[in-house]
Chains A and B, each alone.
Chain A
């Protein structure tokens, strides 16, 4: 079984937000509207967050793309009272929308703030509604449940199905999430962390590699390459 992980090169990222847009279309996250977004209620499975150090004129800004970290030791799973959030055998942290009771303990516990709550039933403008992704994994979520980045599990399933249809064995390189595919600066890498020869595995061991809040022991599977 592969152990999926991601590496994001901060030197290459120029914060174009195409990952955020691609994620939205791939995963059917509803547009929040200005008021709701102002309250911090926008659902963005992937966000590009500005990390600003110092004050003008001595400012150093780092743009930090932030998907779910898919921790090996996730804080969210420990606190879920009904196992609505779980880690599958390939290390992906997923949510069962039919079981979630909406207590929001996972959103409170996640130190990376990657989990989003559906404050209202999701709505789309008519034009967008026609272009929703039809995959079963990303059907619009009901109000009152928590959702988050899945590393595009539906793409993983489709890649497996394609490989099977073509009569070949599935390779770890057959599948990438939408944000990785779309990344304009080729800043994102994706693959099997357990395969020592994979590109992600090599990059994750680079001296530039770091993980967010390493000290919390959550063992994230998203690595960043330091800005040089």
Chain B
């Protein structure tokens, strides 16, 4: 596979830049959403954090 060619194509074409912006911002949004849920969910016994596999131990 021509890695150099791919990198060149990435920087040289209209489009991939916008995708990167969307991926970065979108990815951050998702991570922040789950982080917030994880923090807040600690106070609720009813709803354990769905994305956390381990059961957190209360201090």
List B contacts of A83 (CB < 8 A): 13-14
Q: Which of A60-90 contact B (CB under 8 A)?
A: 81-83
CA distance A99 to B57 in the complex (A): 56
Number of interface residues of B (CB under 8 A): 3
CA distance A67 to B12 in the complex (A): 26
Main secondary structure of the interface of A (DSSP, over half): loop
Contacts between chains A and B (CB distance < 8 A), count: 4
| B27 part of interface (Cβ distance < 8 Å) | no
Shortest Cβ gap from A156 to chain B (Å): 23
Shortest Cβ gap from A138 to chain B (Å): 23
CA distance A6 to B28 in the complex (A): 50
List A contacts of B13 (CB < 8 A): 83
Instruction: Return the chain A residue nearest B11 by Cβ.
Output: A78
| B17 part of interface (Cβ distance < 8 Å) | yes
Q: What are some 4 contacts across the A-B interface (CB < 8 A)?
A: A81-B17, A82-B14, A83-B13, A83-B14
Shortest Cβ gap from B10 to chain A (Å): 13
Nearest 4 pairs of A and B residues by beta carbon = A83-B14, A82-B14, A81-B17, A83-B13
Instruction: Return the chain B residue nearest A81 by Cβ.
Output: B17
Instruction: Return the chain B residue nearest A99 by Cβ.
Output: B14
